[in-house]
Chain A
Amino acid sequence: MKINAFNQGVLYQRYTPKLLLIMKLTTFILILALSQVSAKTYSQITLKAENVQITEVLKQIEAQSGFVFLYEYGQISDLKVSVNVKNVSITAALEECLENTPLSFNIVGSTRTITIKPKPFSINEKLINKPQNIDVRGKVVDESGRPLVGATITVKGLPITVLTNELGDFYIRNIKEKTSIQISYLGYKVKNLLASNDLGTIVMEMENANLKEVVINTGLFDRKADSFTGAVATFKGAELRAITNQNLFSALAVLDPSFRIVDNVEFGSDPNRLPEMILRGPTGVPDLNATYQNAPNLPLFILDGFETTVQKIYDLNMNMVASVTLLKDASAKAIYGAKAGNGVVVIETVKPAAGKFRVSYSASADITAPDLSSYNMANSAQKLEAEVLGGMYKSTSPSQQFELIQLYSVNKKAVLDGVDTYWLSQPLQNGVGQRHNLYLDGGNETVRYGLSGGYNKVSGVMKGSERTTINGSFNFQYRVKNLSFRNNFMIDKNTAVNSPFGAFSNYSRMNPYWRINDDQGRLIQSYRNITGAEVFNPLYDASLNTKDQSEYTTITENFYGEWTMAKNLRFTGRIGLTLNNNNSDLFRSALHSDYFQIGTNSPEYLLRGRYSVGNGKSNALVSDLGFAYSFQIKKHQVYANLMYNIQQSTRSSTGMTMVGFPNDRMDDISFGSQYLPGSKASGAENTSRALGVTSALNYSFDNRFLADFSYRANGSSQFGANKRWGGFWSVGLGYNLHNEKFIKELKFVDQFKLRASTGTTGTQNFSSYQSIATYRYNTDRVYNGDLGLLLMALANPNLKWQQIMDNNIGLDVGLFNKIQIRADYYLSDTKDLLSDQTLAPSSGFDSYRENVGETRNKGFQINVSGRIYNSEATRSSLNIFASIVHNKNKIRKVSNSLRKINENQDDKLNNGTATVRRMPVTRFEEGQSISAIWAVRSLGIDPANGQEIFLKKDGSRTYLWDVKDQVVVGDNLAKYNGSFGLNWRYQGLSVNLAFTYRIGGQIYNSTLVSKLENANLGYNIDARLLEGRWREPGQYSLYKDIADMTVTRPTSRFVQDQNELVFSSINTSYDLSRTRFVKRLGMSSLSAGLTLNDLARISRVQAERGLDYPFSRNISVSLQANF
């Protein structure tokens, strides 16, 4: 009987007899209630009944309405109904009454008679599909797709509680369909869903930002965010990928502006050029002598607990990144001691999750488009006009004058013929790259595995410029009893090919009135410019067979073991091994324009063409052993770690250059006829070792008062025998105000934490043997049959660690469950700066290593994020974020040798070549910033004669530029920089926008100077040259006399404020998981995305950017599927 089924449906199988008893009681009360129903009007029915026999209800309606019901008693007598209406029409009352019954009614004419009959068959069908008992299953995962184990599922109105298993799966038997079920997990937002057979994968969202960093991974060990006192920032892989999929660095720079990528004006967006990065401020002095092994301010990179190279991170498969943590202050980074001075970037890759075998695949097509908006080149008519105005076609010698007139007519004819070659576009392309990533994982509690393979081809905007990375990794985990092991094996292979088109500056300087091809369509090899110089067509060299590429292969093997020896006591051991092989090839044939000048009779004729190879090998072995101990006594909680680690790294390289490659098809080094004269095979070797003992203690009382202590003793082979060991310490204090009662009472405060820390760290980007005197055998000659040794370097046994003292105070505030604020103020002093010092040659050497100077970085950072709107029902949300960073750098002490560098620099300005003289130089003065711009103050151009008026130091005016009048006229470092953006989600669609900005920094517009005032009129110029330069007395102009060919030296006139707003990223993605199409393909999820990077740049300064390699805009279309 269907009616029986209906009746049962109301009750849940597990209802106890007690519940039934309650129901009976209700019926009794209802009957009482019915008796009180009044009968004011027949048309307005008021009725309240629950689970009462329908015949009883009908009787009541008859009484109130005066209608008569006709029905077969046998058909309806078993039915019980519930109804609750007030002053409604009889139709409405009946509808309500019969709603859940297999009955229908019909008012017969105006007879006040109503018939009640069973509904037709189809109506019964509908009835069957009404709520009934089902089994519910689902899977609970976090935002990055990892299963949440132990999430709580409750069913509304029922005493049922279920926990997810180790795969994140749960299963509830036999509940009513569409009952509300609730899923909760600590730190995540409670999720309400209506029950259905298969809920699929349920993604839990983080509750709010303050609980986001539940655990902070410092790379060595984990710390509870709530009790940690360090200044850190953690980003999930998904957050980073929402900014860009290009590389980790660009994404980090947007999300946390304290992580800065130094703009490389010269090499722009060259994919084969590793970016230079600074975390907070520059700790070292610029490497004027170019002897650092790496950039002096490079942070330390830790990948899955092991130190790694910038290159590895640059080429890292972004899909495999689970999270990135920036460690900024002493409390956070001191555990890395000697290497952490420049900050630490901790990267964790995705770990295999247990569960059934899963396949994820992602792919993207990446388009790079050249951004030439900063270029403002003259067209052919403008260029010719500039040449005329510059007096280039005038000569006092009649014969030369004749030639010049001829040249002018040739050029003029070209202009009139409409020749206006756009050289800039010649070597450029819209590069199309692609990425693919496949990840397979699965396993159970005991054994888990993950296998990934990635292919990434980046195609640059210069034709032929490419970077291809193939990586693979195998991750294996094994856990038994109190032991667990993890092994991660990775292989990366990278090929970087540079464009055969050479430097972009060779194209931007070409005159627009030169044709590329002659009348027969052949490439013109060279041109003669107005100064008489022969200028080669750069496209000619690009048409030849050349080779400029490098490759590397890296194998990384990391092993982790963990043994829980006793309750609260854990022992960990790790071994990491990295092997790297790299090689580079540079080939240029005899046909190259470099060799045009060499005649067939010259002895060098046969030596044309060259091939250089370089081979390098490096390996690193790191091992550490650690103990972790934690206990809680009443309100005291202590985490203690002790770690001992040793490490050795070796690097070696060889290289040679052969010459004599007559034909460009002979593109192998073995074709060469001999070594480059005067050269031989070269080689270098570097081994360094370090060991350290780290201890860290984290204490919290009542989760209110927090303290962190750490000490690390570090020994390194890179430092002088007398100063080999260094001690690094940190102390951090915190106060969780939000755990105090008086704050708890303020309901809108979710978090209020004060932090302060101080401590020291060191930096070491230095070559291995800088502190010891070394000998090398001279193998070129013997002396009377004996071999001799020669000193290679001057020892400095007192060379010691460069120390950085960090002080930080910070504040974490969460309000209304919506707003999260994080603010830090820091003061960081670098002492004993390591630098190469120039020596008097009477010491026998040019330089040696010394600890010199002190610098200070001072600044703050504020990050605000807010959840403006969030609706579970429509699956929509809007989040915004904004951040600001300020850093001020100051040189506090300069050594004599640094002062001498200043003199040297000034001397360059006085006596250097024209190219050197027109650029401001780096100077080290106490109280000034390292990035200060030094120039002579300018009062502008004298309208009377077109000469520049300078302001001397004593305040007087002069036309003469003097190196002694240089003052600080700006600072390259922005006063404030930061980012802001939003994240909007509506159902499956999500949109991310990110902007970055900088305010209050200056730039010396050297490209403008060189293409405008210092322009060599033999080459193309900036179009502003014509409009802007002084021509006649009385003219007010920004730029000096057009006929004045003297070099413009550093002047404040070209110092410009660089306020800049960059539309860094727009990312949209659509989650297709809910579409039927996806289900049909057997996928568990599918999403498609579009990312555009570096879309637009609004800047007050129009300076050419990307001189040797242009900047690019990036568009990436991606697809991600899980099976």
Chain B
Amino acid sequence: MSLPILPTTVVGSYSMPGWLERLKTEYFARRISRQELDEIHDAAVKAAVKDQEVCGLDIVTDGELRRDNMIDYFAERLPGVQTDHTSKKFYYDFYDSVVRGKLPMASLRLADDFRFLAAFTERSTKFCVTGPHSLVKRIKDEYYKNEEAFAMDLARVMNMELKELARAGARYIQIDEPYYSGFPEDLSWGVKVLNALVDGVDAKIALHVCYGNRYGKPSWAGNYKYLFPTILEAKVQQLTLEFARRGGEDLELFKEFPNKFELGVGVIDVKTHEVETPEIVAERIRKALNFVPAERLLILPDCGCLHLPQEVAFNKLRAMVQGTKIIRKELGA
């Protein structure tokens, strides 16, 4: 499926409806069954896909509405990780999870969720996976000698899963590693682990690094200088970074450190409910074009839309698409 120039997509999550938050929490209170919750998730995902299509996005996701958060969706499925299912009351909280032995190889069954997405849209699709560096920051380790060893073994297990996703038809896979920004000193081994994770995976791989979006607020401050030059060793095709909230100063890094990455440029601030105008979006894209050519640029929000009300998320994405169309027209595309 061919994409237009400056393809538009989301980082991963779409707005989490308040009613779904309540139903997820009802599940933890044992007031609805797992089967009922799965059916609710199916309906919610279809609605999220439809919203993205109506907004005009070129690449859609399942909105990550099945996920409680970016960690537990994987921790629950990872073989060898023990999760205490009584350890949270509110769905968005993190489980207490621990690994006490070497991780066995077994499927996480992520491809099932991808296939569901693919069955309900004609658009290009993307599937997002939390990276090992972020996972080891939240899953307690009582077996491996250090975080790097734990992360490397996670990469070994998850590499098989990514290959399964590719076999299921996932052409675009995004690895989320926001914790890089909180632990820049880990970056050197973090990139090694990343490369092991994506080794031999037949799909276009994006790496998303932001400053956190937990509860809709940043977890860390700083700038992207710490990524360079180490990140140039990453065997991914695309970086998706946040620029709307933080301003575009870090775009200079793409001039200072020439590279072949595509850039997914964040042009929508997901930490405010104020909806950008298409003109603001267009201006942000123009700025990015000063540093990265159009054929290597993708247009995204800064991060997931999880914490935005549905109406706000929808209007922001629609403005993003409209702003992108302004620039496509200027480029004669």
Q: A and B bound?
A: no
Binding site for B on A (CB under 8 A): none
Binding site for A on B (CB under 8 A): none
